[in-house]
Amino acid sequence: MIHATAGAGHRKAAEAIHHGLIARQVAGAAIIDALDYTSPFFRFGYSKGYEFMVGEMPTFWAAFFALTDQTWFLPVFRTVRRIYNGVNTAPLEKFLKQEKFDRIVITHFLSAEVCGYLKRTGQIASKLVVVVTDFDVHKIWLIDGVDEYCVASEYTKKRLMALGVEASRITVTGIPLDEKFTKARDKKATRKKLGLDPDAFTVLISTSSFGFGPIEQLAEYLQQLQLIVICGNNRELRQRMEAKANPRHKICAFVDNMEEMLTASDVMVTKPGGLSVTEALANNLPMVFFSAIPGQEAGNVRVLAANGIGLSGMPLRDLASEVLGLSASPAALNAAREKTKALAKPNSVGDIISRLV
């Protein structure tokens, strides 16, 4: 498995498959971060540059995302990308040629480009399986040399087919989700374990690993509800939230028991990243979205909305009102939960592994 640390989602997807292989006692499974095999300058710029652009320059990121998704621009972009990656990922290319893996599972487009080049030029003979970690597809995922794409939904498959990928090379597996998220847990018992009121309607507010978004304002609008607030790696946000000392609000930094947080919750208010959405779907949680990153997350919102899932695109106060409405109407809550079942793929890891072994 190869991922790249540019946001947490690509890593979590790779880890989910890796954990699944270990649980099934499949020998020879390895997981790497592609950026560990690049120059320090490239590694810093790739991860921190992405964080800076989506956090501080979203308009620029939206323009870049749109430009690189244009068919007419692809030949130029692919040429520049190959030269740039070729210079900066030479250690990764050397590693892959030395190891001679039978199969390479890729959850980030950087590694897909590098592996596709090596495959096309006969430098590796590995089967290349690319796992697309969003519900929509940017053309950056289109790589000659890929043997199979594993995708989130039928919409994702149709989108790839429209871009010229043969149906025989696309499998709808769902985005890989660590199997700990699919284990049955008692909601009230989990709330007690987390120090929450077991009988209170509970909302999970989860920002990205970067800690972006209007979390404090949302929590203020929902102050009368029991909240779990995940602040990610934003220490300042967590400290400000803790200083307010609302006894109904559980404030957390980046957590490693997200599966319990989801079990304890009735609704999830989140950024629409592919992995966050997948985790919520597996728990049949209605979703409310804020601060979608232009491009990939906006695409996720669009696909989910077409399936009647998620609320977005309205002022924060109105979003909060929708959550309050769900808290007051068991019928509306159940109806929203039912809609999540259409896209939920709780067996995603097993389905992907079946393509590998």
For residue 173, how many C-alpha atoms fall within 13 Å in the half-sphere facing its CB?
Answer: 26
| Interstrand relation of 148-151 and 127-131 (parallel, antiparallel or unpaired) | parallel
pLDDT digits (tens, 9 = 90+) for 142-183: 999 999 999 999 999 999 999 999 999 999 999 999 999 988
For residue 64, with 0-12 CB atoms within 10 Å meaning exposed, 13-18 middle and 19 or more buried, which class applies? middle
* Residue range 256-302, pLDDT digits in tens: 899 999 999 999 998 888 898 999 999 999 999 887 777 888 889 99
Q: Per residue in 98-152, pLDDT tens?
A: 999 999 999 999 999 999 999 999 999 999 999 999 999 999 999 999 999 999 9
Which candidate, 326, 324, 312, 309, places its Cα nearest to that of 220? 324
DSSP assignment letter at 28: T
- Nearest CA-CA partner of 169 in 132, 218, 217: 132
As a whole number of angstroms, the distance between CA 278 and CA 175 comes to 7
- Closest by Cα among 117, 109, 105 to 32: 105
Task: Give residue 244's pLDDT band: very low, low, confident or very high (50, 70, 90).
Answer: confident
Domains defined along the chain, listed by start? 2-176 (no CATH), 180-340 (3.40.50.2000)
Reported pTM: 0.90
Packing angle, helices 296-306 and 154-162, rounded to 10 = 120
Which tokens is 113 given?
Answer: 């480009």
Cα of 43 vs its chain's centroid, Å: 20
Q: Which two tokens stand for residue 186?
A: 């008692």
